[in-house]
């Protein structure tokens, strides 16, 4: 068996950002202005603060403006909805990101769904999810879309392959399953209640770790030659898959860190650029059959 190939999310992410920077520099030179991404952080979660600061810096590097809205820990759902509505109607704002998680008193789903479709560059609204499931134009959840772009960058055709997605989050596992289906893969969506999970994973040509538990998916569950995509990031710099042992038996794999993570922020910037240009993300496969 040939040696496994590392899917370098860091390098591909940089390639995407360079393209964004070139496009925005051209738009600015033509007098079209600069896009703005608004990020809302509610509360004092240190990890969330770190993520938001990373996104602000990433915006600056590609020539994009950012607006950072910081709300107190005690913010109510209605107060948050009011802030989102302001951003929805502000013509200078092209994308809106509500940093997850929010404090317990807030109805997070209600807040997500208040974001206007044309500014939902994080792909978190119910409408965006519905449009994705119908293979219609929308913005996609950033992490799944980042994984798809990684596969495409390395010329990996998923047509007819059996993909097993472990995790059913509405912004990660579920949309990833839909995206792969739209790309003509055969998908099994697994979760915490799935019986005989190791046996199902052993059947997979593509394994996606999206369960949020460190090294939950064991190396001996994975068959030789499988493609491994690990969307997890846990304490100790480990993902949801036992990559250290599984990578040697894979055909392709994402490292943790440096695989899926960098792609997520780059996709957020990419979709903000699309919003600025007045378009949605390109459909994953316009030639896919519904049969």
DSSP assigned state of 282: P
Active site residue 21: no
Catalytic residue among 8, 99, 230, 271: 99
Q: How far apart are CA 276 and CA 203, in angstroms?
A: 42
Given a contact cutoff of 8 angstroms between Cβ atoms, the answer to whether 279 and 177 are in contact is no
Exposure string of 156-178, with b = 16+ CB inside 10 Å and e = fewer, is bebeebbbbbbbbbebbbbbbbb
Reading the block at residue 133, the tokens are 């499931």
Active site residue 55: yes
Q: Is 133 helix (H, G, I), strand (E, B) or coil?
A: helix
Burial class from Cβ neighbours inside 10 Å (0-12, 13-18, 19+) for residue 153 reads middle
DSSP assigned state of 70: E
Q: Which residue has the tokens 């978190």?
A: 124
DSSP assigned state of 3: P
Q: Is 287 helix (H, G, I), strand (E, B) or coil?
A: coil
Catalytic residue among 55, 119, 131, 161: 55
DSSP assigned state of 209: E
Catalytic residue among 122, 131, 161, 230: 122
Active site residue 105: no
Q: Active-site residue numbers?
A: 55, 99, 122
């Amino acid at each position: 068996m040939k040696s496994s190939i590392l899917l370098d999310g860091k390098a591909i992410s940089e390639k995407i950002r360079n393209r964004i920077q070139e496009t925005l520099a051209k738009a600015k030179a033509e007098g079209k202005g600069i896009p703005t991404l608004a990020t809302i952080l509610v509360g004092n979660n240190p990890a969330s603060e770190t993520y938001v600061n990373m996104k602000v810096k990433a915006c600056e590097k590609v020539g994009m403006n950012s607006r950072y809205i910081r709300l107190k820990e005690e913010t109510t759902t209605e107060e948050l909805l009011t802030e989102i509505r302001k951003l929805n109607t502000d013509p200078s704002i092209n994308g809106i990101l509500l940093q997850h998680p929010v404090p317990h008193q807030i109805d997070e789903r209600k807040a997500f769904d208040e974001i206007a479709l044309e500014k939902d560059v994080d792909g978190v609204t119910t409408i965006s999810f519905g449009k994705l499931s119908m293979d219609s134009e929308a913005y996609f959840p950033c992490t799944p879309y980042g994984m798809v772009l990684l596969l495409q960058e390395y010329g990996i055709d998923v047509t007819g392959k059996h993909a097993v997605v472990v995790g059913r989050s509405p912004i990660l596992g579920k949309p990833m399953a839909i995206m792969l289906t739209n790309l003509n893969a055969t998908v099994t969506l697994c979760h915490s209640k799935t019986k005989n999970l190791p046996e199902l994973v052993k059947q997979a040509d593509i394994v996606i770790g999206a369960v949020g538990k460190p090294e939950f998916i064991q190396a001996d569950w994975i068959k030789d030659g499988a493609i491994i995509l690990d969307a997890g990031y846990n304490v100790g710099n480990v993902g949801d898959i036992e990559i250290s042992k599984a990578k040697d038996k894979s055909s392709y794999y994402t490292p943790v860190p440096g695989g899926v993570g960098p792609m997520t922020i780059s996709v957020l910037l990419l979709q903000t650029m699309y919003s600025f240009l007045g378009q949605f993300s390109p459909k994953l496969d316009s030639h896919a059959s519904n049969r």
